[in-house]
Structure 1
Amino acid sequence: MKKLVKYPLLVLFAAFLIVCSIADMLISRREFSEMENRYLAQRPKFTVKSLVSNQYTLDYEKYINDQFVGRDHWITLKSVSESVLGKIENNGIVYGKEHHMFEKYRTTDERGIKANTGYLNEFLSGYEGNVTFALIPNSYQVLKDLVPRGLVNIDQQSYINQIYSRLEGENLTKLDMFPAMEQAVADAKKDNPSGFGENGQQAYYRTDHHWTTYGAYYGYANYVRSLGMEPIELDLLQGYKRQQEGFYGSYYSKAKLFSTLPDTIDYYEIPVESVTIEGEEKPELYDKEQWGKRDKYAAFLYGNHGVTVIKTKNNQYSQPGEVSRVLVVKDSYANCFVPFLTYNFDEVFVVDLRSLPMKMSELLGQYEFDDILIMYNFMNYASDTNIAKIKY
């Protein structure tokens, strides 16, 4: 004991390991982390084959890391200590001005971009109807004034221009989303100089990779005007406007910055005739159970599903005896965008190729569409391996 007293740090460290090991054996295992917004690794099943291949060891290490006692508190402590040291990034997320977070995106998947653009050209060559293609720039490209110095991400505008130049189709409209998003940012700052606040608006979330409902409205207005229609005035929807506070998005889930200010989600309880997702009737446009969870954005259209059909009587351009339809092929950015389209079409079909339960050709064989809107955010377009399904 006298010898041990000479090494107090060693004793404390050993005691720490023992206490943590005992506590680790007593605590219940969590399946999901609200703080990180992801499912946690569970105890792997032991087999001789997995042990020999070293897969069991790797899986068990992930399990220990995810289930370590007090994990959320250790993550917070790490965030505090790094902030004290002046670190402005964590896990690929950089801290910008006015509490905005941005993703480090210094390289992109050029092979993926080339392949996906090729798939779209194959689709366009075999489809005779009207198609609109829109790539949405991510937040760092539009909110340049808020990006910290030294963050040199790729120029999305240059890449988008290249992609547009490679697409061919007689009935194709290439929709430039930059002016709309820049206008959304400018208009938001008219109400609030910083572009956010209790009553202010913002085009992109501070803590998440998506555009906001406000930003999506500007994208919607840009789209329907390209079709020769006018958007529903946002002021006319104020009676349907609702808010959900305390939203911590995907960027926060990666960075875990302890001083993060949460976002507020705006949404509109627009009345519709019916919402059908994968053949199942839903009572409304939003999954309200998600408002009480960390991933609140998943409330829009109940998340990402193969085929969603919305029927409405809101259409400002409705013609007796005729049914106008639009098909939106999309990623999650469109989930807060789609409800606005009910004011310009009688039926809105929404397809997420990641979960599409049929071939695109089968869907197009069943219905005629006034327009097909293919809309992705740039980062997802570059990396999505499901866009190939559009050509079948």
Structure 2
Amino acid sequence: MTASVFSSPVLGQLFGDEEIGSYFLAAADIEAMVAFEVALAEAQADAGLIEASHLQAIQARAAGFTPDLAALSAGTARDGVVVPSLLKQLRAGLPEDAATALHKGATSQDVIDASLAMRMQGVSLVLDRRLAAITDAFTRWNLEAGDTKVMAHTRMQAAKETRFSRKLASWGDPLVRCRLRRETIAPRAFALRIGGAVGDRAGLGNEADRIVDGVASRLGLTAVPAAMHSERDGLVELADWFSLITGALGKFGQDAALALQSEVGELQLSGGGGSSAMPHKNNPVGAEILVTLARFNATLVSGMHHALVHENERSGAAWSLEWMLLPQMAMAAGAATRTGLDLLDKLSLAAPQRRG
């Protein structure tokens, strides 16, 4: 057993996802936070809130910045967030007036939330690309199967014959809807939630709207009319989306595992898992993992609904709960899409079913 199956040297190839995991490396987080600070300075310089010379110094410092991770770790343990320590390191290489201009009008939550939104948007695009590949694979399988009939099962009992295309639709159509939902939730899930110290954007002055628009445009995020420090429904929608992906693929995995039973034999699997005691077995490992990941995200998604309860203008408790849950849910969705694609390459209709 391990603390994280996603990064375990033993379980990582089963549950992990290197591409999705790259978005949750410390380096990726720090890079995104620094990018926010640069974008903020650029937008503020455009609006006349800071001097052009200050912006140039900030840009130069960011371009050559190498963080002291040990100091960041110690600072985070003390402050509960990484930003004060990160700013201290950035300012150490700046002239005094540029150091004062850095982070002007912002607060730690603005930086951390922007980094999260940027990285989660990247994750969503990876998942969307994989969902497209999976639905294309189902479409190809449907064309190959033609009018092939299989036995339908209701309440785990043989019912009546039906076209195999009906089963394929029940596996693929929910994933098509998941792709559509990404577009629906994107403006809220990938919003620039910036608000300054208490969420009123007062530190950005009279040009607050212009500055926010400028930062959002530079970072590829959605500008929203007011801060969303304590309004987390967009992130919960994202968590729901992760769970819908794993749930839909879990349905596919569960049906595949049932159809692969020796006594049923509607599907056949190439390259299944072996057994230490029964060498004849061809275990449907991928199908089982899809079910596991679906149940995992279905469990965690309730925690994100708990994280909706931010007391007053900012919650340290609810906010940090998101940091624990969302990356794991994203990793599970990544593992599910990776596993689903691999499973589709190994599945086919069993020979006795090729009729009709």
TM-score, scaled relative to structure 2? 0.26
Which structure would you say has the larger RCO, counting Cα contacts within 8 Å and 6 or more residues apart?
A: 2
TM-score, scaled relative to structure 1? 0.24
User: Higher strand fraction: Structure 1 or Structure 2?
Assistant: 1
